Chains A and B, each alone.
Chain A
Amino acid sequence: MTAAVRRAGLGGLGLGLALPVVLVSIWEAAGRAGLVPQGILPAPSLVAEAWWAWAFADPGMGLNPYLGTWGETVLFSARRVFAGFACAILIGVPMGIMIGWNRLVAGAVDPLIQSLRPIPITAWLPFAIAVFGIRDAGAVFLIALGAFFPIVVNSTAGARDVPRNLIRAARMMGANERQLLLRVVLPAALPNIFTGMRLGLGIAWTAVIVAEIVAVKSGLGYVLWDAYYVGRMDVVIADMASIGIAGFLSDRVLVALSGRVLHWKQAVRA
């Protein structure tokens, strides 16, 4: 990257910050001027205050759930996302590769996947609660299911679109079926697999909030709905922002990981 391009990038960042800063300022001013009822839309300064207390205040007797509990709340959600997302990868990637690679497997499994895929993740909620109860397993199931579909579909595409001559080259060099799958089809499909994982991670965060609102009694989704019920809109907004940050950071981690694994793609751009 040249210095000029970098400057343009920083300029772009400054420009991108301008609009949010303006909006937040208007919001703050409107709140102070009494134009917006603070019980419905508290000013940003009040949200920041509540967020600070939620994160760092002494919980005291533990009677106020919004004092010093932010960290554990985020961890509850993050752990569920991690567990569900890991299940989705462990099942979705091998299954997708087999569907993309083997016509027999595709014929047997793909129609089932394609017919389940249009069912929205929210429609699975009663089923998940009925089967797993009000427990972690229900939430993890929903997250895994939601993340599974984009992962399996993209892994399938990746395995199906491996250039024919790469397969032929591996075969003529003596690779057997197992080596072909692990050394050629899997690495060739990795760019698609990472695309599927990024989409799946986004759905995983959606699923964890929905599941926590309905099916479990902890985490960012639970606090979101609970705070709404007791009229703590400042905590609701802080919670929404927390979800956004968690989703953003986990996506960055995944992007950094894919950059490392797919270094051979980065090298071309450099």
Chain B
Amino acid sequence: MTEAVAIRGLRKVFEGRAGAVEALAAIDMTLAEGEFACILGPSGCGKSTLLNVIAGFEAPTAGTAEVFGMPVSAPGPDRAVVFQEASLFPWLSVRDNVTFGPRMLGRPKDETEVLARRFLDLVGLAGFEHHLPDQLSGGMKQRVGIARCLILNPRVYLMDEPFGALDAQTRMQMQELLTHVWDEARGTVLFITHDIDEAIFLADTVYVMTARPGRMRSRIVIDLPRPRSIELLTDPRFNALRAEILRQIREEASKAMAAIAAEERARR
């Protein structure tokens, strides 16, 4: 299988007023083409930083990120990003938000119209084309955020806790929607989350990160059948995976606590 994403020796240090903070220590990982990967880790472990580097929003301090063999140097429509806050353009209608990318890229107009209709249908927003983002609920905004990525026909989808700000009910709906969309559209996905259930439900593989500075702790294959539905949450195999991942996360969390305590002691 082709390597869709290849991260080698990736390190990221942020220079701040309070000194340097090492967000990512040394990340090595590869995603196969068509893989749905979830990255799971405690908050502050550098998950989002990793995504920002692959998106081209931030430059690594050391190491490389490659997408289909091309080193990442800047953001581009081959790597579509779904942000945690949908980050839609509030002055554009739902449809114009979705067609923004193709219009910037100068893609043919009539083809774009057809695709916009198709993807708005797919995410369940038919009939909302002329609404403004601020007239939509959080879940609906995120659907627009997904549709505007689908229309780009990217090689990789990067999703940065896209459902993190939604209420539990909506979040579950969106997870089902996303598996449904993914069954249809396919593509390589890197999905950042701190929600274990979400990771298992969506992913082919779950990567557990360590506490800061972030490293890859383990890679867990989720061999649950697709298409997946919400009933899966009560499946014994699901629960077994959940228990194992929870154990690893807990270990990382307590390590992080210990590190903070040690830092405190050192300061005194």
Contact = CB atoms under 8 A, between A and B. Distances in A.
Interface stretch (B83-91, B214-222, B227-235, B249-257): B83-91
A174 B152 CA distance: 9
Contact of B132 (A165, A175, A264): A264
Interface in A154-197: 163, 165-166, 168-176, 179, 183-184, 187-188, 190
- For the complex of A and B, list the 4 residue pairs with the smallest distance between their C-beta atoms, beginning with the closest: A173-B101, A165-B87, A171-B75, A174-B77
A192 B27 CA distance: 43
A170 B104 contact: yes
A183 B77 CA distance: 17
A175 B92 CA distance: 15
Contacts of B74: 171
A267 interface: yes
A268 B133 CA distance: 9
Contacts of B77: 172-174
Interface in A241-270: 262, 264-265, 267-268
Interface string B65-99: 00000000011110111010101111110000000
A177 B81 CA distance: 19
A170 B76 CA distance: 9
A179 B74 CA distance: 16
B163 to A, nearest CB: 16
30 contacts: A165-B83, A165-B87, A166-B87, A166-B89, A168-B57, A169-B83, A169-B87, A171-B57, A171-B76, A172-B55, A172-B77, A172-B80, A172-B81, A173-B80, A173-B100, A173-B148, A174-B104, A174-B105, A184-B89, A187-B89, A187-B91, A188-B89, A190-B91, A262-B91, A264-B91, A264-B92, A265-B90, A267-B132, A268-B134, A268-B135
B104 A176 contact: yes
Interface in B94-132: 100-101, 104-105, 132
Nearest to B134: A268
For chain B, the bracket of interface size reads: 20 to 34
Contacts of A183: 100, 104
A183 B91 CA distance: 10
A223 B234 CA distance: 86
Interface of A: 163, 165-166, 168-176, 179, 183-184, 187-188, 190, 262, 264-265, 267-268
B100 A170 contact: yes
Contacts of A170: 100, 104
Nearest to B133: A264
B90 A264 contact: yes
Contacts of B75: 168, 171-172
A179 B76 CA distance: 14
Interface string B34-70: 0000000000000000000001110000000000000
Point out which of A171, A172, A175 has the most chain B C-beta atoms below 10 A from its C-beta.
A172
Contact of B55 (A168, A265, A267, A268): A168
A267 B135 contact: yes
A259 to B, nearest CB: 14
Given A173-B100, A175-B104, A179-B104, A168 B80 contact: no
A172 B87 contact: no
Contacts of B105: 173-174
Point out which of A166, A171, A183, A187 has the most chain B C-beta atoms below 10 A from its C-beta.
A171
Given A170-B100, A264-B134, 16 more contacts: A163-B87, A168-B55, A168-B75, A168-B81, A169-B88, A169-B89, A171-B56, A172-B79, A173-B77, A173-B80, A174-B77, A174-B101, A176-B104, A184-B89, A188-B89, A267-B134
Contacts of B83: 165, 168-169
Contacts of B132: 264, 267-268
A264 B94 CA distance: 12
B106 to A, nearest CB: 9
